[in-house]
Structure 1
Amino acid sequence: MVARDASSGSAADWQSEAKDQITLRPSLGDEIYQRLVDDLISLRIPPGERLSIDGLARRFGVSQTPTRAALIRLEAEGLVVKKQYSGWSVGPLPTLDQFEKIFELRGLIEPASAARAARHASPAALEDLGAIAEEMQKLIAEDIADHRARLVVLDSRFHTAIAAACGNELIEDTLGRLFTQMHIFRLRYHSDVAHAVIAEHLDILAAIEARDPARAEAAMRGHIEAGRERIETHVRQHD
């Protein structure tokens, strides 16, 4: 009788309930990944530093499995490297040549991505972009110097959300591989630059919300060109 009561729901109900439970809880691997990204972009863990799976697992109070999953994800994005005998370590800063190639590709793809987002973004996608922009604006009322890493994460989320809203999975995947590699340089924004970055994001969002592809494309192109100018001097100093 007990067994019958426990199985009284349909298979579809059980599968739906299990799916809801999973989506409400972020994976440990995702949480560790975000913590490590914050450490890397803030240079709390410097380039070349060795990363021990066992040490990181102890730090976060988790098993090695989600820790390894986070490192594999970071390796795919170029933030950490793995060598056969020395294990994991923080990847080097991008070279000037890599920097120029990244911005060249962004200049080709992102303006078109913004224009497509203006045409195809769903109401949910627009809501997501608006929420990210709102979080950025809240930082203006505070000392941005104390929230540089947070701004970097929001910057990446904003651009990633536009890529996701454009309706082209290949564009989304290509840009996703570039954004994380730019984190380390975005962190060099001082407070005045951070205000300019946020204002540029708001211009892009306004064009997308207005369903104006030409305006969105132009705003994104200007934002990328301004970003390149802001970061290039720093890259040349460390190349």
Structure 2
Amino acid sequence: MVAKDATSGPAADWRPEAKDQIPLRPSLGDEIYQRLVDDLISLRIPPGERLSIDGLARRFGVSQTPTRAALIRLEAEGLVVKKQYSGWSVGPLPTLDQFEKIFELRSLIEPASAARAARHASPEALSDLGTIAEEMRTLAAENIGGHRARLVVLDSRFHTAIARACGNELIEDTLGRLFTQMHIFRLRYHSDVAHAVIEEHLDILAAIAARDPSRAETAMRGHIDAGRERIETHVRRSD
């Protein structure tokens, strides 16, 4: 009897094909997290509000497991807090001390991040930044006062996209935590300065697209310094 060749047969003919690849999709926990981040930074869910895992699960039509995972992630970023007997609730707005520390760290990291993005941003990353900027332009042509929450979300997405484009995962992770804490405070003061903020973003994008690290760094530093001045007075009044 002739032994069968171990490499022959249907199994040996199988080869992986592109169509076999399963596309990556965000998990339910990631989707719930992003929905809640949008609600929190827009203040649709106000500071101090109780958060029920069961209630949120019913709202999103999911089980409690991914809902709990999203809340744990938000707790790690300081957007929600959990107390032993009262459960989950929305965290307080940043204090003056937190505000100053956040901006100090941003001023150290973000200009360098923008310079790195000017060197390393992929065409896809530049396209993403351009899409965000174009949506900002569209909102600026309308009644900005009616789009404050959306502008804050876009602002956060813009800075996050630059951090991602810079090619350093540690910078991206660090800045991501800062943005979620910082932008929740900005909504109440955003409409008065929205046009200036949008123009500053466009200047940063232009420098990155031109592959000019020095100009991108300078534009980002000016944007952060201007943001600190715009917000600090209001933070001091509420602290």
Equivalent position of 1:42 in the other structure:
42
Shift of 1:50: 1.5
3-state DSSP of counterpart to 1:12: coil
Q: How many residues align?
A: 230
Equivalent position of 2:220 in the other structure:
220
Q: 2:50 and 2:21 mapped to 1: Cα distance?
A: 38
1:94 aligns with 2:78: no
Contact 2:42–2:150 (CA<8 Å) still a contact in 1? no
Q: Specify every segment of 5 or more residues in structure 2 that has no aligned partner in the other structure, as ranges.
A: 1-10
Q: So what's the TM-score if we normalise by structure 2?
A: 0.89
Q: 2:197 and 2:154 mapped to 1: Cα distance?
A: 11
Deviations 1:57-99 (A, max 9, x none): 1222221112112211211211001122221111111110010
Shift of 1:126: 1.0
3-state DSSP of counterpart to 1:88: strand
Q: Percent of aligned pairs with the same residue?
A: 86
Equivalent position of 1:52 in the other structure:
52
Q: 1:57 and 1:178 mapped to 2: Cα distance?
A: 27
Q: Specify every segment of 5 or more residues in structure 1 that has no aligned partner in the other structure, as ranges.
A: 1-6
Of the three residues 1, 18, 22, the one matched with 1:19 is 22
Between stretches 42-51 and 211-220, larger displacement belongs to 42-51
Equivalent position of 1:76 in the other structure:
76
Deviations 1:21-65 (A, max 9, x none): x43xx4332332232223222323221222110111122222111
Equivalent position of 2:67 in the other structure:
67
Within 5 Å, give how 1:178-217 maps onto structure 2: 178-217=178-217
Q: 1:31 and 1:169, CA in 2 relative to 1: closer, same or farther beyond 3 A?
A: closer
Q: 1:114 and 1:190, CA in 2 relative to 1: closer, same or farther beyond 3 A?
A: closer
Q: 1:190 and 1:84 mapped to 2: Cα distance?
A: 35
Between stretches 48-57 and 93-102, larger displacement belongs to 48-57
Shift of 1:178: 0.3
Contact 2:136–2:151 (CA<8 Å) still a contact in 1? yes
